[in-house]
Amino acid sequence: MQYLLLIYADEKLWARETGTDPSALQAITAAHMRLGAELSEAGALVGGNRLQPTDTATTIRNVGGAQSLHDGPYAETREQLAGYYLVEAPDLDAAIAWGKKIPGGPNYSIEVRPLHVL
Amino acid sequence: MSGWQAERVLEAAVREAGDRIRAALAIRFRDLDMAEEAFAFASLRAVETWTRDGPPRDPAAWLYSVGRRRAFDMGRRAKVRSEAVHDAPEPTPDPETIVMAAFEPIPDERLRLIFVCCHPAIAPEARIALTLRTLCGLSVERIARAWLTTEVAMLQRLTRAKRKIRESRIRFEIPEPDAWGERLGAVLATLEIAYAQAYEDAAGASDAADLAAETLRLSGLLAELLPQEPEVLGLAALIRFTEARRPARLDSAGAMIPLSEQDVGLWDPRLIGQAAELMRRAAALGRSGPYQLLAAIHATHAARIETGTTDWASVVALYDILLRVRPSAVAAVNRAVAVAEAQTAEAGLAALAAVDSRERLAGWLPYQAARAGLLARAGRAAEATEALRRALTLEPAPAERLFLAKRLGELGA
């Protein structure tokens, strides 16, 4: 079964911290590379990426058959979707174990969502 | 055999082995709804069949066997979730196998089911409801009553939890060593919350008593299944100590009686004996923890049966350790009350003020109630009256409301 591990963090805080301390960004990037290698090794990696900040987002709204474009993310939230991993895991507990290994700054959250099975 | 007799045999079998049968079905088929329905089907079929043919030699094994067949048929028919891993392929059933199966022992999967129901990925308020429903077989209506919510709301909560277990595929296994601490912690916290809920309203007569009895039983079951876990034994002891005082907790008007004023003659010595034995076993394992410390505090109170007095200095010392291991506002307030008993009311008030300056507790009932008590003891009647009035606005449970009102009356207010 596949699980999407969504990484949420305060992107403004993140930009500030990595702006003042580039080594922090390097350390976390290296940690992501290690996790990616570990996931591949275990045959659990389906995909994963870091996303550009939400100020690059465009939202397409569909209302009553009409479409309109909106400059910005779907929802304004305190923490934003910053990246994801898509993993193959036998059960939720295994997916959570991977989610706990995802590196980041001091404060961030990982949402673990099972993919719908047809 | 009459239908009435068949029902009696069924009731006895369910009382004796219901948990075990429900757990075995749930774990085998990895589906809590299916297990529930299969068990209900087996119970219904039992009354029909036993009325006609007389009861089987082993009614519990009969129920498990029929329930298992039913679940298997349901699963085959639905063909949904065909990916779900079953423990073993079911052999093609023929009458012979059914008869033979009746003599197969029912596997004990109760612990696995408790771990599934109390999984940390499930909302805390749903965990105990799920445990009471799927393991203990309590009706949704009875669980809803204990939680002062509607049957519809409780059913939704249960349905959502079961759906999550199924769709997100929560593991139906005893946790691995690296997850053991977190998982066992979630189970213990679930039981603790359930018991606190049952304890909350002492006047809430049968509903709370029902829930307390079920929690008492569950904690005992857990202690039996995990005899090497000292905190499991500690929680089971804690619940027994507390439950032992139930007969002494209310006066004839239904008002709460504080622990220090309770008639120890009404405490249940059998439960206190069980609790002491559990604590002895926990201590022998040599790993202390918050539940054992709480149990030790209650044991110190229970000693009043023998000695006629309470060793408040020990109570304070135990709270000091507890606050280091598991800090909480409740423990800090209770410690302040113990300080008042061990030293003076003013010393207790000073300890209480220290807690408040850290935690801002003015709008919290246990704090105001404790403060009112200490102020009254210190002879500061006007302030005590004020604190009691404040406490009464903080929605105390009926028994506590009566108690606070009585105290207010005693102060001549």
Nearest residue on chain B to A114, judged by CA atoms? B168
Q: What is the pLDDT of residues B278-308, one digit of tens each?
A: 999 999 999 999 999 999 999 999 999 999 9
Q: What is the mean pLDDT of chain B?
A: 90
Supply the pLDDT for residue B102: 54
* Domain membership flag for residue B113: no
Supply the pLDDT for residue B2: 83
- We report the CATH number of the domain holding residue A96 as 3.30.70.1060
Supply the pLDDT for residue A118: 73
Is the CB of residue B278 less than 8 Å from the CB of residue B237? yes
Q: Determine the average pLDDT of the residues in B53-76.
A: 92
Task: Determine whether the interchain pair A96/B121 forms a contact, defined as Cβ–Cβ distance below 8 Å.
Answer: yes
* Domain membership flag for residue B75: yes
Q: Is the pLDDT at B83 greater than 60, yes or no?
A: no
Is the CB of residue B46 less than 8 Å from the CB of residue B62? yes
* Domain membership flag for residue A25: yes
Is the CB of residue A70 less than 8 Å from the CB of residue A59? yes
* Domain membership flag for residue B9: yes
| Cβ–Cβ contact B121 with A under 8 A | yes
Looking at the structure of chain A, the number of domains it has is 1
Q: Range of A36's domain?
A: 2-53+79-114
The partner residue sitting opposite B83, judged by closest CB among A94, A114, A117, is: A117
* Domain membership flag for residue B277: no
**Of the spans A37-41, B14-18, B212-216, B326-330, which averages the highest pLDDT?**
A37-41
Task: Determine whether the interchain pair A1/B169 forms a contact, defined as Cβ–Cβ distance below 8 Å.
Answer: yes
* Domain membership flag for residue B86: yes
Return the CA Rg of chain B: 25
- Alpha helices (H) in chain A, listed in sequence order: 11-20, 22-41, 92-100
* Domain membership flag for residue A69: no
List chain A residues with CB under 8 Å of B171: 90-94
- We report the CATH number of the domain holding residue B47 as 1.10.1740
Among B377, B17, B52, B3, CA closest to B221: B17
| Cβ–Cβ contact B171 with A under 8 A | yes
Phi, psi of B120 (to 5 degrees): -65, -15
Is the CB of residue B121 less than 8 Å from the CB of residue B175? no
Is the CB of residue B226 less than 8 Å from the CB of residue B202? no
If 0-12 CB within 10 Å is exposed, 13-18 middle and 19+ buried, where does residue B343 land?
middle
Q: Is the pLDDT at B331 greater than 70, yes or no?
A: yes
Which residues face A67 on adjacent strands? A62
* Domain membership flag for residue A64: no
Task: Determine whether the interchain pair A92/B170 forms a contact, defined as Cβ–Cβ distance below 8 Å.
Answer: yes
pLDDT-derived band of residue B231, with 50, 70 and 90 as boundaries?
very high
User: pLDDT tens string for chain A (118 positions)?
Assistant: 999 999 999 999 888 888 888 898 899 999 999 999 999 999 999 999 999 999 999 999 999 999 999 999 998 889 999 999 999 999 999 999 999 999 998 899 999 999 997 7
* Domain membership flag for residue B269: no
Whole-number Å distance between alpha carbons of B198 and A117: 40
Q: Determine the average pLDDT of the residues in B126-148.
A: 90
Is the CB of residue B368 less than 8 Å from the CB of residue B362? yes
Looking at the structure of chain B, the number of domains it has is 1
Least confident of A25-34, B140-149, B184-193, B232-241: B140-149
* Domain membership flag for residue B95: yes
* Domain membership flag for residue A74: no
Supply the pLDDT for residue B199: 79
Q: Is the pLDDT at B354 greater than 70, yes or no?
A: yes
Supply the pLDDT for residue B404: 96
Q: Range of B89's domain?
A: 3-101
Supply the pLDDT for residue B99: 57
Q: Is the pLDDT at B94 greater than 70, yes or no?
A: no
Is the CB of residue B269 less than 8 Å from the CB of residue B216? no
* Domain membership flag for residue A71: no
Q: Determine the average pLDDT of the residues in B138-144.
A: 90
* Domain membership flag for residue B392: no
* Domain membership flag for residue A13: yes
